[in-house]
Amino acid sequence: MSNRMLLVYFVICLVGLHATPRLASACQSPTCNARELAAEVKPDSAIYSDAVDLAKTLIARGFVVKCMLHSTAQGMFKGLSGSALYRTNRGDFQALFLPKPKSFDALEVIEEQKNGRFIYSFRGSPPPWLANPIDSSRQEYFIKQSNRLLIVHGDAQLAETLRQVLSSS
């Protein structure tokens, strides 16, 4: 992890620790491998503020955020500020961000199952860029909260935990 990212992480932890002692276990030393560091979300990124805000929320609820990396989901919807892949002690997920005050509230996720696979398409706002639907071997979970859309691949427990965390924040 870069020095800048470590500094941000420890500031989040120190500020949070004064707010609630529960954060002590969440603020263990994060780890990212060298390849991942090349894709870390940096302060000059358009999504940095949103990504750090989400990390703060997760840390306050006992997550260890190991890495915040730029995600390949960047081009899923028109008007995205960007996307991040979060590696946590409870599993990985992607977060897509729209510029505030835009939101994912009007986005409809359509799930179909064909031949044991999960096929996802989208309708509404923001409009998708994807010409083809998402074809996945495992179920995807989509969690909307204002200008954030979290996508969890195949982990129902993580998806439910994230829903609870976001609904209480």
pLDDT at residue 40 in the model: 87
pLDDT at residue 14 in the model: 41
* Whole-number Å distance between alpha carbons of 22 and 25: 7
Of 79, 129, 128, nearest to 99 (Cα)?
A: 79
61 contacts 160 by C-beta, under 8 angstroms = no
User: For the chain (length 169 residues), average pLDDT per consecutive 10?
Assistant: 46 43 41 76 92 95 92 88 94 96 95 95 88 87 96 97 90
150 contacts 95 by C-beta, under 8 angstroms = yes
So where are the chain's domains?
3-167
Q: Report residue 122 as tokens.
A: 């989208």
CB atoms within 10 A of CB 30: 19
pLDDT at residue 75 in the model: 81
3-class state of residue 103 by DSSP:
coil
Write out the H or E segment, with its range, that includes residue 145.
strand 140-145
- Give the number of C-alpha atoms closer than 13 A to the C-alpha of residue 85, restricted to the C-beta side: 16
Q: Is the pTM of this model over 0.85?
A: no
